Amino acid sequence: MNEIRFGVLGTGGIGRRTLEHATAEDDLTPVAACDRNGVAIADEALDVEELLAATEGNIASGPDDDQRTDGGAAVKQAGEHRGVAASRQGNPTETPIDDIIEASERLDAVLFALPNLEHDFIPRVADRFAEAGYEGVLVDVLKRSRVIGMLAERADAFEQSGITFVCGAGATPGFLTGAASIAAQSFVEVEAVDIWWGVGLKSGYEDNRGTVREDIAHLDDYDLETARDLSEAEIEEIIDEHDGVIEFTDMEHADDVLLERAGICDAADVTVGGVLDVRSDEKPTTTTVRVTGRTFDGERGTNTFQLDDATSMEANVNGPALGYTRAGVLRNRAGEFGVFGPAELMPRG
């Protein structure tokens, strides 16, 4: 049987959509999920519909998560519990991640849908899986180049435990680095990879405040630390200053190191930018990957990959994340452990 039993850490936008997306796929069975205050572990399969209803509005995005993760006007509350703890499948806990690790023997894969506002948060969570001797796949959708290095330092520990860690498996990096590595096949030398994304996030804004905050950290006047300390009001102010449409250039996105790891090109030859519109669901620009190189017969050309404007950011994060999860499970079952980037794997549809 090719069934993949997986868990999700975090039930914010990405975590909830991963659960929802998986219900459309026969081979993917969600069996565990947690948020800050609760954990749900099923013997067979989670009732995703019930869990999604319980965790609606369950978004962590800022410095004072304690309130916002499970709080805020939109979050449902049942009795004294909120989020996963309020689900009839959930239990309140003070150690949600440890609870998942304790049950991890039944999990082929665990998707990290956690905010990573501290660089080493996801690497440190991965350490705990490795220390517990977890044998399986860990997947994250992180974006920052420097986190890849932290994970790479842990490759030996992952190998010892039997962990196949798939990093940066969302849209960019992830989907678009996979596309770039395919597009590179015409060339003996890749000279440039240009990744340009468009995201329209009006109706999805509430669910993706953490992503918006992380994007703001890429603006010239900000970094991860200053962005983390912004209040919601300050973020709204920045958005207002840009009339809701923010353009990003030269982002520190892990596409560069992941493409270098895969042997496609030098990290320095990769540029990432894009436009975010938080006041429209229409994409402000078409997401495009351009790979320019030299062919063995001396020509120079640019191959192009474009996503339809109708495909949402959500679809382009969660589809690849689950595709790369499948690819990671294949590798794990074949005994290949360590750290893999998307361009080193082929997702399966």
Decide if 169 contacts 196 (C-beta within 8 A): no
76, 105, 191, 218: the catalytic one is 218
* 188 is a site residue for a second copy (CB under 8 A): yes
81, 119, 143, 253: the catalytic one is 143
Decide if 19 contacts 31 (C-beta within 8 A): no
Nearer to a second copy, 88 or 300 (CB): 300
Residue 262 CB partners (closer than 8 Å, separation 6+): 177, 181, 341, 343, 344
Q: Where are the beta strands (DSSP E) in 130-200?
A: 136-140, 163-166, 189-200
* 29 is a site residue for a second copy (CB under 8 A): no
Decide if 193 contacts 270 (C-beta within 8 A): yes
The least CB distance from residue 165 to a second copy, in Å, is: 16
**What residues from 108 to 127 belong to the interface with a second copy (CB under 8 A)?**
none
Q: CA 243, CA 67: separation in Å to the nearest integer?
A: 28
* 170 is a site residue for a second copy (CB under 8 A): no
CA 238, distance to chain mean position in Å, is: 24
The least CB distance from residue 221 to a second copy, in Å, is: 33
Q: Where on the phi/psi map is residue 87: left (φ > 0), alpha (ψ -120 to 50), or beta?
A: beta
The least CB distance from residue 226 to a second copy, in Å, is: 33
Q: Buried b vs exposed e over 21-52: b needs ≥16 C-beta within 10 Å?
A: bbeeeeebbbbbbbbbbbbbbbeeebebeebb
Q: CA 326, CA 109: separation in Å to the nearest integer?
A: 9
Q: CA 199, CA 346: separation in Å to the nearest integer?
A: 24
* Contact window for a second copy (CB under 8 A) among 108-116, 159-167, 222-230, 260-268: 260-268
- Whether 191 is catalytic is no
Instruction: Name which position in 35, 140, 256, 344 contacts a second copy (CB under 8 A).
Output: 344
* 28 is a site residue for a second copy (CB under 8 A): no
Instruction: Name which position in 12, 13, 320, 328 contacts a second copy (CB under 8 A).
Output: 320
Nearer to a second copy, 91 or 302 (CB): 302
- Whether 214 is catalytic is yes
214, 260, 314, 344: the catalytic one is 214
- Whether 283 is catalytic is no
Instruction: Name which position in 244, 252, 302, 338 contacts a second copy (CB under 8 A).
Output: 302
Q: Which residues are catalytic?
A: 143, 214, 218
Site of interaction with a second copy (CB under 8 A):
17, 20-21, 24-25, 175, 178-179, 181-190, 262-265, 295-297, 299-312, 314-316, 318-320, 323, 331, 334-336, 343-349
